[in-house]
Amino acid sequence: MSGLVAITGLTVAFSGQPALRGVDLAVGRGEAVGLVGESGCGKSVTWLAALGLLPSRAEIGGSVRLEGEELIGAPPARLERVRGGRIAMIFQDPASSLNPVHRVGRQIAEALSLHRGLEGASARAEARRLLDLVGIPDASRRLDAYPHEFSGGQNQRVMIAMALAGRPELLVADEPTTALDVTIQAQILDLLHSLRREFGMALVLISHDLGVVSETCERVAVMYAGRIVEEAPTERIFADPRHPYTRGLLGALPPLAGPKRRLASIPGGVPEPWAMPPGCAFAPRCAAHRPECDRAAPHPLPVAPGHRAACLRATEPAAAEPVPA
Amino acid sequence: MVRFLLSRLLRAAVTIVLVVTFAFVVLRLSGDPAQIIMGADAPPEAVDAFRTAWGLDQPVWVQYFHYFGAIASGDLGRSMRDGREAIVLVAERIPATLALTVPALLIKLLLGIPAGIYAALHRNSAVDRALMVAAVAGFTVPSFVLGLLLVLVFAVQLGWLPSGGQESWRHAILPVATLGIGGAAVLARFTRSAMLEVLGQPYIRTASAKGLTWRAVVWSHALPNAAIPTVTIVGFMVGSLIAGAVVVESVFSWPGVGRLMVVAVANRDLAVVQCILLLVAATMVVANLTVDVLYGVLDPRLRTGIRRAGAG
Amino acid sequence: MSAPLLEAEGLVRRYAMRRGLFGRGVEIAAVDGVSLRIEAGRTLGLVGESGCGKSTTGRLVLGLERPDAGSVRFEGRPMPPPGTAEWRRLRARMQMVFQDPLGALDRRLPIGEQIREPLDIHGLLDPAARQARVFDLLHAVGLREDHAARYPHELSGGQRQRAVLARALATGPSLLVADEPISALDVSIQAQVMNLLADIQARFGIAMLFISHDLRAVRQLSHRIAVMYLGRIVEEGEPDAVLHDPAHPYARALVSAIPHPGRAVRRILLPGDPPNPADRPPGCAFHPRCPAAVARCRAESPALKPRADGRLVACHVAQGEAEAPIRQAA
């Protein structure tokens, strides 16, 4: 798998307070990578920073390369070609992510004009084809509808159609199903899966839900407090999680079978950006905490091929952890 | 749409009736017009004769119904001072007022809206801060203070412009500036906050993520949405084209509708005051109606407005 | 079966809804004939998607809204009309917790005072003892005494939900209606709050109506679960029975939609959107999305009734009353 996007040492701070504290992540061509973590861990900020979508007061450092081409600090014109062209992004709340005063056909056509040079009737025909593709019934009529005339799930389909307009090599989906109902979530995940198979497009799925990510992605990266703490092929992250935070997340999920047990909850809460612990950011909540954890932030240690964990004890074999069914 | 317009028109009619009634009651309660017009020294027989002539001797509710009956048949009454038709008196003054308020409205729109947009797009920049300080000053300083200030500087100190009267276009400059600056300040602040609200919306991020230039994001995605709330305040400004210059006309001795109003109130010239109020209410109502229709044009959610049930 | 703490019979709640600015009003039934019972110290989980009427059911059960038809009995007695003194007395024994703890708390008051407030309102305990009770409650929900002086914005999301729980517990209720109490929280905090709810139930013997869209959370906390669709309960039974062998096609789709970490599953994909209560299809409301629908489902609404195994199901097919699924027209 050849590299498409390589993020190295990416940092972001807002008025001096760190949001990302050095993120390294690579996405191969056609690969599906899940980015998991709780609110404020930096999973969305990573990709907003990569695409230059953060407000100008954000202080950004490090590097994001798209097939060797540096995106951080790139001139606006070059970023605009990448955005919606080679890398498209969809967001959590589809209803408010579409402009309420424009017809959806026009919003899709805009992307077609920017990245494919299509105008007028040919743009409209292509927009209709895209709506068809994402499963909007009666597409030619619905082109003239406004976002408020669609349901939440349909709006997310429209967002996906718009994202596909530029024939992206990578689709970044930021919590695409969080605002949707369970059965609609299943529809959207299914759609993303089949589109990826059809177009060989890479996918980054940002989610707080390990379950959602595991079904869609080949590789999972777990983020905590602005860093990736563990990264592994999907099967491994569930079968043999090495970072205590990953184990905590898995243990916090109520099982669907077996005897009811008390949930293994992680005590406390995420540290605030202005009160980051000196060493490992997870140390204050960690059951396996040792004095050396407080000395410096641990580097990711290789555990197995493609499996790294940023924990001093990552290479110690895990005790048998109950993985929820 | 027809239903919507009909309901709005009905509401407009009710508004006008209420305004006129209110004016009628307040003016009748605030002193005896006969005494005021005839003067304190007038003989009682003359005052009584005046009362009878103008129907002021009848019970208030009879006067009220007469008044409404007359309005319904298009008769807005005559001035008690010179006996001329009130509507003619008022109509004569309208051009003078519009000569101030229309240029002032243009200043408000052409200065206020771009300034607000610029400030929003360059939030927290030096220009933004300067503009907002100016805007706060512009709408906290009452128009008579601003007017007097301008007179002091440009008429008294520098002697560049006349301080009052209506002889030439140069006489209009200071009153137009007084009206325009205050309104532009209000509009600038309003436009800025509407723009900032819109710029924070997720669909703006979507538009950027699509690869649009920032200019295109602002023009085709932010402005159409920011226009929706801004239309309200612009509508209000259009509605006050007739009535918005009362203070400024007095400060600059400009013989417009506002000055006529001040004089007529002082004299308890009932028909004239009522005629002006009716006119003001009518322009306001028409402006509001236009705003409502514009909302429908600008915001598709109001046009079709099929909301999905949200009971959880 | 012991006498239930709460028994609701045939609850119906209709709302007038206007379609659009110029449209005419239509009446929609948010809750359309819901019966449920909750025994003392037990939890009934109410599952469904947005618009299914689960929150409205919660408010009806508490008497916060009056049903258009049906009745609620609490401890064997009918619910007094809202606003009466008797109702207020009863309200101290039934409390509610919502999804958004920040919205439920008053931003201008320290949480200690907010926890104390129900004691003042209902005149419980003598004033001197109330402060001690506040500290007890804080301990019970896993907060410290010094948290009493903090304002809501000074607490994390999980701590706020704990404070809301402490306030709900202040009057010593015997029923707690929890409406999506964990869905606004992060995964690790969700687990903390679920554990807390279980602890509270074990310690105080409180009955709960746990309303959620999350089947995992519902299984974790409930002794029985009821699945709602378009204002009606379509299946009700023991959690593991419903989750491992759902009988109603909608319940089957819901269960199959639960993401399983590290395991690929075959999903039942339902076509279409969650239904709109204003457009209730004739017959079984689920039939347009149902993979198993037969002709009868379009004509006749199935009643919720027990199967041989004791499970309550409202489905012609699952009850074995109809066979031979027809092909759905797309």
In a domain, B51, yes or no: yes
Residue A6 pLDDT > 50? yes
B188 and B123 together in one domain = yes
pLDDT 10s digits, A236-252:
998 899 999 999 999 88
- In this structure, is residue B121 part of a structural domain? yes
Q: Which residue of A has its CA nearest to B198?
A: A99
Does the residue B12 lie in any domain? no
Same domain for B51 and B197, yes or no, is no
pLDDT value, residue B309:
32
CATH (domain of B144) = 1.10.3720.10
- The pLDDT assigned to A51 comes to 95
Q: Is the pLDDT of residue A1 over 60?
A: no
The per-residue pLDDT for B52 is 80
Name the one residue in this structure whose structure tokens are 């949001």: A19
pTM for the model stands at 0.86
Q: How large is the greatest C-alpha to C-alpha distance in chain B, in angstroms?
A: 85
Which two tokens mark B112? 């206020």
Instruction: Compute the distance between CA of residue C245 and CA of residue A274 in angstroms, rounded to an integer.
Output: 49
Helix (H, G, I), strand (E, B) or coil at C171: coil
Closest CA–CA distance from residue A92 to any residue of chain B (Å): 9
Same domain, B55 and B187: no
pLDDT score for B161: 79
Q: Which residue has the tokens 């047990």?
A: A261
- CB within 8 Å of B127: residues ≥ 6 apart: B118, B119
Tokens of A85: 């062209």
Q: Is the pLDDT of residue A127 over 80?
A: yes
CB-CB: which of C19, C22, C56 is closest to B311? Answer: C56
CB contact under 8 A, B308 and A151: yes
**Residue that terminates a domain, selected from B75, B102, B131:** B75
As a whole number of angstroms, the distance between CA A309 and CA B41 comes to 102
How confident is the model at residue B29, as a pLDDT?
73
State both tokens at C139.
């301990």
The alpha carbon dihedral of B108, B110, B111, B113 has a sign of positive
Say how many C-beta atoms besides its own lie within 10 A of residue C140's C-beta: 17
B50 and B107 housed in the same domain: no
Q: What is the pLDDT of residue C18?
A: 63
> Under an 8 A CB cutoff, do A99 and B225 touch?
yes
In a domain, B307, yes or no: yes
Average pLDDT of span B59-72 = 80
**pLDDT over 70 at C315, yes or no:** yes
Identify the band that residue C262 occupies on the pLDDT scale cut at 50, 70 and 90. low
Q: Do residues B127 and B209 both lie within one domain?
A: yes
pLDDT of residue C104 exceeding 90? no
Distance from CA of B267 to the nearest CA of A (A): 52
From B304, which residue of chain C is nearest by alpha-carbon distance?
A: C20
State the residue range of the domain holding B299. Answer: 89-311
Say whether B308 and C276 touch across the interface (CB within 8 A).
Answer: yes
Same domain, B205 and B68: no
Last residue of a domain, one of B75, B100, B128: B75
Q: Among A27-31, B282-286, C109-113, whose mean pLDDT is lowest?
A: B282-286
Contact between C32 and C12 (Cβ < 8 Å):
yes
Say which residue, B147 or A103, is predicted with more confidence.
A103
The answer to whether residue B81 is domain-embedded is no
Q: Which amino acid is at C131?
A: Q
Pick the closest to residue A249 from A262, A238, A236, A233 (CA basis): A238
Distance from CA of C234 to the nearest CA of B (A): 16
Domain-embedded: residue B2: no
Give me the residue label for tokens 């220009």. Answer: B127
pLDDT for B173 equals 82
Per residue, the 3-state secondary structure of B297-309, as one string, reads: HHCHHHHCCCCCC
Instruction: Say if the Cβ atoms of A99 and B209 lie within 8 Å.
Output: no
> Interface pTM (ipTM) of the complex?
0.89
Is any Cβ of chain B less than 8 angstroms from the Cβ of A88? yes
Of the listed ranges A115-124, B261-270, C11-20, the one predicted with least confidence: C11-20
B39 and B118 belong to one structural domain: no
Q: Report pLDDT for C198.
A: 94
Residue numbers in A near B307 (CB within 8 A): 148
With an 8 Å Cβ cutoff, the interface of chain B facing chain C consists of: 1, 3-4, 302-312
Q: Half-sphere exposure of C248 toward its Cβ, with a 13 Å CA cutoff? A: 31
| Distances A38 to A202, A208, A222, B153, B221 between C-alpha atoms, Å | 23, 6, 9, 62, 31
Q: How far is B98 from chain A (nearest CA, A)?
A: 35
CB B311 to CB C277 under 8 A?
yes
User: How many domains are contained in chain B?
Assistant: 2
Secondary element (H or E) of residue C293: none
Asked if B146 and B208 sit in the same domain, the reply is yes
Position A166 pLDDT exceeds 50: yes
Residues paired with C34 in a beta bridge: C11
Q: How far apart are CA B264 and CA B270, in angstroms?
A: 7
CB-hemisphere CA count at 13 Å for B126? 0
Give dist(CA C210, CA C325) in Å, integer.
34
Asked if C300 contacts C317 with a C-beta cutoff of 8 angstroms, the reply is no
Same domain, B150 and B243: yes
Q: Is residue B142 part of a domain?
A: yes
Is residue B215 in a domain? yes
In this prediction, residue C275 has a pLDDT band, given cuts at 50, 70 and 90, of: confident
Q: List, as one string, the DSSP characters of chain B.
A: -HHHHHHHHHHHHHHHHHHHHHHHHHHHHT--HHHHHH-TTS-HHHHHHHHHHHTTTS-HHHHHHHHHHHHHTT---B-TTT--BHHHHHHHHHHHHHHHHHHHHHHIIIIIHHHHHHHHHTTTSHHHHHHHHHHHHHHHS-HHHHHHHHIIIIIIIS--S-SS-SSSHHHHHHHHHHHHHHHHHHHHHHHHHHHHHHHTSHHHHHHHHTT--HHHIIIIIIHHHHHHHHHHHHHHHHHTTTTTTHHHHHHTT--SHHHHHHHHHHHT-HHHHHHHHHHHHHHHHHHHHHHHHHHHHH-HHHHT--PPP---
Q: How far off is chain B from A148, nearest CA to CA, in Å?
A: 7
CA angle C56, C58, C62 (to 5 degrees): 115
**Does B236 score more than 90 pLDDT?**
no
d(CA B136, CA B18): 34
pLDDT of residue B165: 72
> Are A190 and C267 an interchain contact pair (Cβ–Cβ within 8 Å)?
yes
Collapsing DSSP to helix, strand or coil, A259 comes out as coil
A261-307 pLDDT, tens digit each:
889 888 888 888 888 998 999 999 998 899 999 999 999 999 999 99
List chains touching B (3+ CB pairs under 8 A).
Answer: A, C
What are the chain A neighbours of B203 within 8 Å (beta carbons)? 96-100
Residue of A nearest to C259 (CA): A211
pLDDT in tens, C45-69: 999 988 899 999 999 998 888 899 9
Q: What is the mean pLDDT of chain A?
A: 91
Please name every residue paired with A36 in a beta bridge, in sequence order, or none if there are none: A207, A222
Query: Would you place residue B285 in the very low, low, confident or very high pLDDT band (cuts 50, 70, 90)?
Result: confident
CB-based contact C50 B310, cutoff 8 Å: yes
Last residue of a domain, one of B53, B75, B97: B75
Shared domain check, B232 and B135: yes
The sign of the dihedral angle between the CA atoms of A33, A37, A39, A42 is negative
Give A104→chain B minimum CA distance, Å.
12
For residue B231, what are its two tokens?
């239309």
B119 with B168, same domain?
yes
Mean pLDDT of all residues in C144-168:
91
Mean pLDDT for B38-57 is 78
Spell out the residues 6+ positions from residue C70 whose beta carbon is closer than 8 angstroms to its own: C8, C9, C10, C11, C12, C33, C34, C35
pLDDT of res. B310:
32
Q: How confident is the model at residue C280, as a pLDDT?
A: 85
Same domain flag for B110 and B58: no
pLDDT tens, residue by residue, C183-194 = 888 888 899 999
CB–CB of B307 and A148 under 8 A? yes
Pairwise CA distance, residues A143 & C116, whole Å: 56
The pLDDT score that the predictor gives to residue B304 is: 55
Is 50 exceeded by the pLDDT of residue B306? Answer: no
Quickly state the pLDDT bin for C325 (edges 50, 70, 90). low
Pick from A249, A254, A270: which is nearest to C220 by CB?
A254
C→B contacts (Cβ < 8 Å), by residue, are 15, 17, 19-23, 28, 30, 50-56, 276-278
